[in-house]
Amino acid sequence: MKNGLKKWRFLPLVAAMAFILSGCGEPFLSTLQPAGEVAQKQFNLMMLSVAIMVLVIIVVSIVYVIAITKFRRSKLGEDFIPKQVEGSHRLEVIWTVIPIILLLILAVPTVALTFELGDQSGAEAEDEEGNREALVVDVRANLYWWEFSYPDQGIVTAQELVVPTDQNVYFNVIASDVKHSFWIPAVGGKIDTNVDNMNKFYLSFDSERAEEANNLFYGKCAELCGPSHALMDFKVKTMGEEDFNQWVTAMQEAGEAEQQFESDTVADGYAVFEDQGCIGCHAINPTQQIGTSTGPNLTTFGEREHVAGILDNKDSEEVQAENIKNWIRNSPDLKPGNKMPVYNQDDLSDEDLDALTEFLMSLKVNNE
């Protein structure tokens, strides 16, 4: 009885782990929930290779079980010698040809899809007036933040990629310091972002799946790049084409509009932002400094889901303010090795920090 129980002692542990791990991760942070045409094709290919592997495992297991049951020594006696088959032409042909066929079944769609997904000709297509038809986004990966610029629209943003659904979006990806990798698990990737050369690929975002995901996908850096690699997250906001065009227009207009402040505190905060030199690294104009800034563009900061991609920026205004202050005072604790300086009490008084925080929270383009 005791032994019988012993056998099962790992069961609760395994059950508890399965239970806990199944709660891991955000919805649509999985390659197994494809949310676009590219992801779907990659998923199909994965399923094909899994199917082939399962088939091989099943056949081998069956042969193995037959061999160990049929040819037991206790059944056939000590001196039994089975039929000798070495050099059998038939067998040699069978076990050479079957793997070749399996490999072909896997290789043909893989190579075909590799070329199909590498096709960038859609990015060149132009309408009658010579304007590019497709949307092109330049992605720049930095330790540990992301910049997204829209060269044809003349706008730039950071940490949150905004894209229209149901069309191919063409990405040109580079890195400014070390190698990173651009990956939106549910939609596609990964593709290396290199310092020396630009990689290109495209993705598409399915509107129905996007709606299920509340129009918010999670992106990751997929190449170990430093101590805060695991915190190098970005978000992807999806919207219909019309909303996207409106967003572009709002960004372009914000680039031309004169700076306006909601209140005196916000104006004071802006003064601190200038005095402290924040503005040297952070543009607050969406049309400024494309591809050159040393910190994330903050034009839409007040609308972002997160501070620095990791701290909640959407819960309540108190939490948002708390997180922003925490970031400015302690960013190395929150994201070890990041390139933003620390501002302690000596550099920046609590009063100035309050005003600065209000100013940062007021940075919005869409008045929601």
- Per CB under 5 A, residues contacting Cu ion are 180, 221, 225, 229, 232
Site string for ligand HEC, 159-188 (x = CB under 6 A): x-----------------------------
Task: Decide whether 209 or 335 has the Cβ nearer to Cu ion.
Answer: 335
DSSP 98-115: HHHHHHHHHHHHHHHHHH
Residue of 206, 222, 126, 131 whose CA lies nearest to 163: 206
Task: Decide whether 165 or 181 has the Cβ nearer to ligand HEC.
Answer: 181
CA angle 110, 113, 118 (to 5 degrees): 125
Name the token pair of 125. 């297509």
Q: Where are the alpha helices (DSSP H) in the chain?
A: 2-7, 11-22, 37-70, 73-76, 89-118, 207-212, 241-256, 264-275, 278-281, 317-334, 350-361
Pick the binder of ligand HEC from 99, 277, 291, 332 (CB under 6 A).
277
* Helices and strands of the chain, counted as H and E runs: 11, 12
Buried b (16+ CB within 10 A) or exposed e, 220-230: bbbbebbebbe
Minimum distance between the CB of residue 224 and Cu ion, rounded to whole angstroms? 7
| Residue 145 binds which of Cu ion, ligand HEC, none (CB < 5-8 A, kind-dependent) | ligand HEC
Name the token pair of 53. 């592997």
Name the token pair of 91. 């067998």
Name the token pair of 264. 């005196």
Radius of gyration of the chain from its Cα atoms, rounded to whole angstroms: 28
Pick the binder of ligand HEC from 158, 169, 213, 254 (CB under 6 A).
158
| Residue 225 binds which of ligand HEC, Cu ion, none (CB < 5-8 A, kind-dependent) | Cu ion
| Residue 158 binds which of ligand HEC, Cu ion, none (CB < 5-8 A, kind-dependent) | ligand HEC
Q: How far is Cα 278 from Cα 64, in angstroms, rounded to an integer?
A: 68
| Residue 180 binds which of ligand HEC, Cu ion, none (CB < 5-8 A, kind-dependent) | Cu ion
Phi and psi (nearest 5°) for 314? -125, -5
In which order are the strands placed within the sheet that holds 233-239? 160-164, 233-239, 216-221, 180-184, 188-193
Q: How far is Cα 229 from Cα 309, in angstroms, rounded to an integer?
A: 12
Site string for ligand HEC, 302-321 (x = CB under 6 A): --x--xxx------------
Q: Is 148 in the site for ligand HEC (CB under 6 A)?
A: no
Minimum distance between the CB of residue 227 and ligand HEC, rounded to whole angstroms? 11
Q: Is 335 in the site for ligand HEC (CB under 6 A)?
A: yes
Binding range to ligand HEC, per CB under 6 A, among 6-14, 54-62, 206-214, 288-296: 288-296
Counting every residue written for the chain, the total comes to 368
Q: Is 295 in the site for ligand HEC (CB under 6 A)?
A: yes
| Residue 221 binds which of ligand HEC, Cu ion, none (CB < 5-8 A, kind-dependent) | Cu ion
Sign of the Cα pseudo-torsion (289, 177, 201, 169, in order): negative
| Residue 178 binds which of Cu ion, ligand HEC, none (CB < 5-8 A, kind-dependent) | none
Pick the binder of ligand HEC from 282, 320, 323, 365 (CB under 6 A).
282
Task: Decide whether 180 or 304 has the Cβ nearer to Cu ion.
Answer: 180
Minimum distance between the CB of residue 175 and Cu ion, rounded to whole angstroms? 8
Task: Decide whether 206 or 358 has the Cβ nearer to ligand HEC.
Answer: 358
Q: Is 339 in the site for ligand HEC (CB under 6 A)?
A: yes
Q: Is 340 in the site for ligand HEC (CB under 6 A)?
A: yes
Q: Is 276 in the site for ligand HEC (CB under 6 A)?
A: yes
Q: Is 174 helix (H, G, I), strand (E, B) or coil?
A: strand
Q: How far is Cα 249 from Cα 52, in angstroms, rounded to an integer?
A: 49
| Residue 323 binds which of ligand HEC, Cu ion, none (CB < 5-8 A, kind-dependent) | none
Sign of the Cα pseudo-torsion (189, 192, 193, 197, in order): negative
Q: Is 294 in the site for ligand HEC (CB under 6 A)?
A: yes
- List residues binding ligand HEC (CB under 6 A): 144-145, 158-159, 273, 276-278, 280-282, 294-296, 301, 304, 307-309, 324, 327-328, 335, 338-341, 343, 356, 360
